Every structure is written in structure tokens, then in C-alpha cells.
């Protein structure tokens, strides 16, 4: 009788633990499903916000569909501080580390449109910053080289871009020097304002290529295209007024 009772108690204990394990497993599954749903919903929301931003830029005059598609595909909030993420999809510049900014989306789109990129073109970006502009260029199919003078920004942008699935070639160095060892470039994009066109960068353009840069002093710049017509001949055209942080020589670790 005692043996029989022990068997019954053992059976009941096993049944209880199995039921408890199943309940825990079901709870974990529900938690995982809920977590997965939150990730999906968050991702969908971000895509929706990026899409709205692209549509707003279209209404402001950006007509290059590839630029708009790139803007609509990129999670801009990933390139800024968490405290500012509520402002990520507004058309405004935002502060980042080292006293720099992530440019206003319209400015990013406008500069990208002026490049008239073709897939596979080799592009040098001067001023990686947050990495957002590099992501746009990658989305457009460019072979991107980007140089940043602030080591902290260089390292942060590298990690952010990697996490977002972009793999441009990033360098820590002086933008005024460019990357002569990787020249010539089809296009060069400068995301800070020099007071005059950097001569070394002009020489790193291929013949037939061009550079887009905000040219001028602290009180405002003209968005300028510098085209290389031959070994020695360059032409310039102006495309509106902008305000950028100054382009500075040297590096900061």
C-alpha cells in the first residue's frame, strides 16, 4: 500500500512539474512573440516615418527618385542620440558629438541630387559625421569612401553603419588631404564649408567628374559644383545658399 501510494505521489509530482514547465514554456513563447511583434511594429513605424520624410522632401523640390528612395529606406534615428530620436524624421539638423551636426535631410538630399550618381560610381565624402550621408550614398549604389577628422565620430559612424548593414570604406584623417592613394574619384562630396575649393581634392577628381561643396565663410555659403573638364581646366556653378559648419584642417583624436 505504501509503495502504491509512493507511485501515485511520484506520478502526481511529475505531472505537476510537466504542467508547470509547459506553462513556463508557453509564457516564454508568448513573451518572445510579443517581443518579436514589438520589433516588427517598431521597424514598420520607422519605415513609415522615413517614407513620410521622403515625401516631405519631394514636396520641397527633391525630384531624384533614387535619392528619395534612399531617404525612405534609412532609419535616421539610428544616427543620432537617443534623447533626440523624437526629432529624427523632422526636416531639421540635429547636434551630434564634437560640436558637429547631422545635416538637415533636405540638405542631404539636395547635395545627393546634385551629385547625379550612377550605380557603381566611386565617391569620396569629406566629413563622415554621423554616417547618415554615407548611408544615403550606399543606398544609391555608390562605391563610398568617407573620411572624418574626429576620431570619436569616425569610430561611432563605423559602428552605426555596420549595424545598419552599410559597409563604406571609412578613414580617420584630414579631409583637406583627401585620399590620394584611392584617387581618382568620379564624385566628391564635402559636408563642411571650406572658404575656398581645396586644391588637393580638385586633383583627386577624374576628368569629367565633379565635386559638390558648400563654399564660403561662417556667415553663409553657396552650394557649388566644381567640374573637372580636363587636366587643368575646372568650371564652377552655384546652386543656392546654405549654412554649414566650417571645414577645418588637421585631425582630432
Cα 188 vs. chain centroid, distance in angstroms?
A: 17
Q: Identify the band that residue 178 occupies on the pLDDT scale cut at 50, 70 and 90.
A: very high
Q: CA angle, 109 as apex, 161 and 149 as ends, to 5°? A: 50
pLDDT tens track for 108-133:
999 999 999 999 999 999 999 999 99
Helix (H) or strand (E) holding 56: helix 2-59
Catalytic residue among 103, 112, 130, 146: 103
Closest CA to 250 of 195, 179, 173: 173
Using the structure block, give the residue that is written with the C-alpha cell 558637429. Answer: 100
User: Minimal CA–CA distance to 91: which of 67, 78, 108?
Assistant: 108
Is 63 among the catalytic positions?
A: no
The candidate with the shortest Cα–Cα distance to 144, out of 163, 125, 117, 159, is 125
Please list, in sequence order, all residues whose beta carbon lies within 8 angstroms of the beta carbon of residue 231, skipping any fewer than 6 positions away. Answer: 207
* Sequence-distant (≥ 6) Cβ neighbours of residue 71 within 8 angstroms: 50, 53, 54, 57, 105, 108, 109, 136
Cβ neighbors of 58 (< 8 A, separation 6 or more) are: 68
Q: How would residue 47 be classed by pLDDT, with cut points 50, 70 and 90? A: confident
CA geometry: angle 153, 217, 187, nearest 5 deg: 60
Q: Give the angle subtended at the CA of 161 by the CAs of 117 and 190, to the nearest 5°.
A: 45
Handedness of CA 138, 142, 145, 148 (dihedral sign): negative
**Tens digit of pLDDT for each residue in 54-98?**
999 999 999 999 999 999 999 999 999 999 999 999 999 999 999
- What tens digit of pLDDT does each residue of 135-167 get? 999 999 999 999 999 999 999 999 999 999 999
> How many Cα atoms occupy the beta-carbon half-sphere of 14 within 13 Å?
6
How far apart (Å, rounded) are the C-alpha atoms in residues 252 and 13? 67
Look up residue 84 and give its DSSP letter: G
Q: What percent of the chain has pLDDT over 90?
A: 78
Taking all residues of the chain, what is their mean pLDDT, rounded to a whole number?
88
Q: Where are the beta strands (DSSP E) in 77-195?
A: 94-95, 101-102, 122-126, 143-148, 169-172, 185-190
Amino acid at each position: 500500500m505504501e509503495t502504491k501510494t509512493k507511485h501515485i505521489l511520484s506520478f502526481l509530482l511529475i505531472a505537476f512539474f510537466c504542467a508547470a514547465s509547459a506553462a513556463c514554456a508557453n509564457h516564454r513563447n508568448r513573451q518572445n512573440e510579443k517581443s518579436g511583434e514589438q520589433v516588427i511594429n517598431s521597424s514598420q513605424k520607422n519605415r513609415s516615418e522615413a517614407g513620410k520624410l521622403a515625401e516631405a522632401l519631394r514636396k520641397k523640390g527633391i525630384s531624384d527618385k533614387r535619392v528619395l528612395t534612399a531617404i525612405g529606406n534609412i532609419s535616421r534615428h539610428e544616427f543620432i542620440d537617443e534623447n533626440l530620436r523624437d526629432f529624427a524624421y523632422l526636416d531639421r539638423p540635429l547636434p551630434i558629438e564634437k560640436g558637429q551636426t547631422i545635416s538637415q535631410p533636405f540638405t542631404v538630399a539636395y547635395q545627393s541630387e546634385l551629385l547625379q550618381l550612377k550605380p557603381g560610381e566611386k565617391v569620396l565624402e569629406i566629413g563622415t559625421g554621423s554616417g547618415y550621408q554615407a548611408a544615403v550614398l550606399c543606398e544609391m549604389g555608390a562605391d563610398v569612401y568617407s573620411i572624418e577628422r574626429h576620431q570619436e565620430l569616425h569610430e561611432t559612424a563605423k559602428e552605426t553603419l555596420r549595424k545598419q548593414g552599410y559597409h563604406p570604406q571609412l578613414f580617420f584623417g584630414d579631409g583637406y588631404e583627401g585620399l590620394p592613394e584611392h584617387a581618382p574619384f568620379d564624385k566628391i562630396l564635402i559636408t563642411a564649408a571650406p572658404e575656398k575649393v581645396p586644391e588637393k581634392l580638385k586633383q583627386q577628381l577624374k576628368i569629367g567628374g565633379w565635386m559638390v561643396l558648400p563654399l564660403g565663410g561662417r556667415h553663409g555659403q553657396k552650394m557649388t559644383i566644381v567640374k573637372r573638364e580636363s587636366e587643368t581646366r575646372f568650371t564652377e556653378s552655384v546652386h543656392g545658399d546654405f549654412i554649414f559648419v566650417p571645414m577645418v584642417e588637421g585631425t582630432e583624436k
